[in-house]
Amino acid sequence: MLVDSPLKLALGLGTGAVFGALLQKGQVGKYEVILDQLLLREGRVLRTMGTAVAVGSVGVHALAGAGYTRLQVKPLRLGGVIPGAVLFGTGLALLGYCPGTTLTAIGEGRRDAMVGALGMLTGALLYVRVYPTLKPVLEAGDFGKVTLPQATKTSPWPWVAALGAAVLAGALVFRKH
Amino acid sequence: MNALIQRSWSPYVVGAGIGGLSWISFASAKKPLGITTPFESTAARLGQLAPRASGVNAYLVKNDEVPRLDWEWALAAGVLLGSALSASASGDSDHGSVPRTWSRAFGPSRAKRFAGAFFGGTMMMFGARMAKGCTSGHGISGTLQLAASSWIFAPIMAITAGFVARKLLGKGRYAR
């Protein structure tokens, strides 16, 4: 097993603790809040995620542009991404928590989230078991680790600006909901 | 200090906080925020306890991967810890099992809710590992990097989840 240095593990734990506290204070680790979003009764989850993406994209692209970090995107492999997204969405509707918010809900003490996490571990074991068989399917339709700016040969900044504008517009239009 | 005792923060404050945290994780660990990779790694490590039943050796060979106890693993553990601290500071803990919207559709049975949560979790994690990301890894970290894979994953996932939730839970048979 590969083990990171204690310092790096502490850094991960600290970063995770801030992430978990933010999710908890944002109330997005709550089943009813997530279902309100999925059933389009209320939009707290989308507001939170949209703001995170808009704010995050500015800093991360600035850091990458200045050479302080490198983007780390997942490859676009249609055979894995599309069926994966469908299975993920179905499971999410059934469980009512996503992976990060399952951990948040466990932190709050929710019993159903603890059972959900056992299911998640089972899903991972199942994935390990069938991975060798599934590999050709997962890697079908491989376009590599590509970003939208790369695919369109454009600068990331118009995209970043558009994200910010979209989130701002959404916040103004839906400020009553 | 006062803010930690508050139960609920504005989604814009929380969203900006998570966005800012992604700058920090990219600058410090050179990594995006994500949750499900450590589950796969843990499954592979557990699989090594029963290599024949788990088929872990074929996985490790084909995947060019080793089980890890790394920054990402600590990150996932930290989420649980941070939530527990935040919830106890604000008295927002909740030891329930059957949420209201669920019980309106499927009744108050705990066994039924646990079965749904377990199979939901299984499907969700299997899907996440197929796509190599979840609501955090694709939905936040990937989309903010403008990754093509994430901008395909996120809408398909959201529309599927909304559709299934509406079919399963939209009209509660047990309502009122």
- The 10s digit of each residue's pLDDT in B90-115 is 999 999 999 999 999 999 999 999 99
Separation in Å, CA A79 to CA A92, B22, B129, B131: 20, 28, 12, 9
What is the Cα–Cα distance from A176 to A87, expressed in whole angstroms? 33
Interface of A with B in 132-171 (CB under 8 A): 132, 134-135, 138, 143, 145-149, 151, 156, 159-160, 163, 171
Instruction: Give the mutation candidate from B86, B98, B104, B106 for the A interface (greatest A CB count, under 10 A).
Output: B86
Considering CB atoms only, which of B31, B56, B124 is closest to A92?
Answer: B124
Q: Do B161 and A92 touch (CB under 8 A)?
A: yes
The rounded Cα A106 to chain-centroid distance in angstroms is 18
Q: What are phi and psi of A156, to 5 degrees?
A: -70, -20
Task: Look at residue B176 and tell me whether its pLDDT is greater than 60.
Answer: no
Range scoring the smallest mean pLDDT among A65-74, B10-19, B157-166, B167-176: B167-176
CA A127 to CA B121: how far, in whole Å? Answer: 13
pLDDT for position B170: 86
Q: Helix-strand-coil percent breakdown of chain A, rounded to 5?
A: 75, 5, 25
pLDDT for res A59: 98
Residues β-bridged to residue B69:
A3
**Distance (Å, rounded) from C-alpha B15 to C-alpha A48?**
4
Provide the token pair at B116: 């749904």
**A contacts of B149 (beta carbons < 8 Å):** 73-77, 81, 146
Structure tokens at A58: 């500015």
Give the nearest partner residue to B117 out of A39, A88, A112, using CB atoms.
Answer: A112
Checking if the pLDDT of B31 tops 70, the result is yes
CB-based burial label for B134 (10 Å; 0-12, 13-18, 19+): buried
Residue-wise DSSP of B126-146: HHHHHHT--TTIIIIIIHHTT
Average pLDDT taken over every residue of chain A: 97
> CB–CB of B137 and A80 under 8 A?
no
Question: Mind listing the pLDDT tens digit for each residue in A75-84?
Answer: 999 999 999 9
Q: What percentage of chain A has pLDDT greater than the value 90?
A: 97
Residues of chain A contacting B135 with CB distance shorter than 8 Å: 49, 92, 98-101
ipTM passes above 0.95: yes
Pick from B20, B92, B149: which is nearest to A108 by CB? Answer: B92
Assessment of whether the complete model's pTM goes beyond 0.90: yes
Query: What does the pLDDT read at residue B168?
Result: 95
Over the stretch A1-12, which tens digit does the pLDDT of each residue have?
899 999 999 999
Query: What DSSP element (H or E) covers B3?
Result: helix B2-5
Q: Tokens 């969405």 appear where?
A: A89
Residues B23-33, mean pLDDT to the nearest whole number: 97
**Mean pLDDT on B143-161:** 98
